[in-house]
Structure 1
Amino acid sequence: MENVGAIIKEWWASFNELLQTPLFEFGASKVDLGLIFYLAVSIAILIILSKWLMRFVVGKVLKNTHMEKGMLQSVATLVRFGILVVGFVIIFQTAGIDLSALSIVAGALGVGIGFGLQNITNNFISGLIILFERPIKVGDRIEVGDINGDVMSINARATTIITNDNISVIVPNSEFISGTVINWSH
Structure 2
Amino acid sequence: MSFLIVSSKLKKWLLASVTKNRGVNTSNWRATITLSYYALIGIGLVGILQTTGLDLSFFTVLTGAIGIGVGFGMQTIFSNFVSGIIILLEKPLKLGDRIEVGTIAGNVQNISVRATTIVTNDNVSIIVPNSDFISKQVINWSHSGNRVRVTISVPVSYDSDPVLVEQLLLQVADNEPGVLKAPAPKVQLTEFAESGLRFSLLVWTQEYTDRLGVLKSLLNFGVLKVFKENKIRIPYPQREIHVFNEDPTKETKL
Same fold (TM > 0.5): yes
Matched, 1:155 2:112: yes
Q: Is the Cα–Cα contact under 8 Å of residues 31 and 89 in structure 2 kept in the other structure?
A: no
| Structure 1 residue matching 2:128: 3-state secondary structure | strand
Q: 1:118 aligns with which of 66, 75, 84?
A: 75
Flag structure 2 segments of 5+ consecutive residues without an equivalent. Answer: 144-254
AA in 1 matched with 2:36: V
Please give the secondary structure, in 1, of the residue aligned with 2:67: helix
1:33-112 counterparts in 2 under 5 A? 47=4, 66-68=24-26, 71-112=28-69
Structure 1, unaligned runs of 5 or more: 1-42
Q: How many residues are treated as equivalent by the alignment?
A: 140
Distance 1:138 1:113, change over 3 A: same
- Provide the aligned C-alpha RMSD in A: 3.5
* 1:181, distance to aligned residue in structure 2 (A): 1.1
C-alpha distance in structure 1 between counterparts of 2:25 and 2:84, whole Å? 16
When the two structures are superposed, what TM-score results if normalisation uses the length of structure 1?
0.56
| Alpha-carbon offset, residue 139 of structure 1 | 1.9
TM-score (norm 2): 0.43
How many angstroms apart in 2 are the aligned matches of 1:138 and 1:77? 14
Distance 1:166 1:79, change over 3 A: closer
Deviation at residue 180 of structure 1 after TM alignment: 0.8
Query: Which is greater in Rg?
Result: 2
Percent of aligned pairs sharing the same letter: 49
> Aligned pair in 2 of structure 1 residues 174, 105: CA closer, same or farther (>3 Å)?
closer
C-alpha distance 149-80 of structure 1, shift in aligned 2 (>3 A)? closer
The equivalent of 2:252 in structure 1 is: none
**Larger proportion of helix:** 1
1:27-56 CA distances to partner (integer Å, 9 max, x unpaired)?
xxxxxxxxxxxxxxxx75x55775698689
CA contact (8 A) 1:123 1:173 kept: yes
Superposed displacement of residue 78, structure 1 = 3.3
Amino acid at match of 1:110: G
Q: Which has the higher contact order (CA 8 A, sep 6+)?
A: 1
Hey, what does 1:29 align to over in structure 2? Answer: none
Secondary structure of the structure 2 residue equivalent to 1:123: helix
SS at 2:92 equivalent: coil
Q: Secondary structure at the match of 1:171?
A: strand
Q: Residues 182 and 99 (structure 1 numbering): CA distance in 2 closer, same or farther, change over 3 Å?
A: same
Of the three residues 110, 132, 139, the one matched with 1:175 is: 132
Q: CA deviation at 1:74?
A: 4.3
Aligned 8 A contact 2:70 2:78 in 1: no
